[in-house]
């Protein structure tokens, strides 16, 4: 069930930055978990970052602090700021939401928990 629209992807050189945005849907329930996921070439979809209604967040440990997830409730928008991008960050990035539940770290792997998805935006990082 596709509800979101992602934007902000593109092609950058290693070391560059991009900010992804996700709009078009906002959870109706007070408790929710929002996330960014990515599918690299030849790999499975993988969790990148999660944020919940009170701004608690979780990140894939492999990111080494380079990415920041945030939300603007008034604008009904989720962001992913990506800095010091590496070729291994090349992937299609998707945002997703789960209503009625908070985030926890293991949800980075529990893709089935998220019922609302976007169609993705491509990020390509060249060396």
CA distance 114 to 108: 10
CB atoms within 10 A of CB 109: 13
What residues contact residue 64 under an 8 Å CB cut-off, 6+ apart? none
* Burial label, 66 (beta-carbon count in 10 A; 0-12, 13-18, 19+): middle
Q: How confident is the model at residue 30 (pLDDT cuts 50, 70, 90)?
A: confident
Write the pLDDT tens digit of every residue in 38-97: 999 999 999 999 999 999 999 999 999 999 999 999 999 999 999 999 999 999 999 999
Look at residues 9, 17, 1 and name the one whose alpha carbon lies nearest to residue 96: 1
DSSP state of 106: G
CA distance 73 to 70: 10
Per-residue confidence (pLDDT) for residue 74, from 0 to 100 = 93
Q: Does 1 score more than 60 pLDDT? A: no
CA distance 121 to 113: 21
């Amino acid at each position: 069930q596709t509800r979101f629209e992602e934007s902000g992807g593109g092609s950058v050189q290693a070391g560059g930055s991009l900010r992804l945005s996700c709009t078009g849907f906002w959870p109706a329930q007070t408790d929710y978990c929002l996330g960014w996921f990515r599918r690299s070439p030849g790999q499975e979809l993988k969790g990148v970052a999660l944020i919940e209604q009170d701004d608690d967040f979780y990140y894939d440990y492999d990111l080494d602090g380079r990415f920041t997830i945030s939300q603007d409730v008034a604008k009904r928008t989720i962001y992913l700021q990506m800095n010091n991008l590496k070729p291994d960050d090349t992937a299609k990035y998707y945002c997703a939401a789960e209503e009625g539940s908070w985030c926890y770290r293991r949800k980075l792997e529990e893709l089935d928990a998220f019922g609302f998805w976007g169609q993705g935006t491509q990020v390509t990082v060249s060396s």
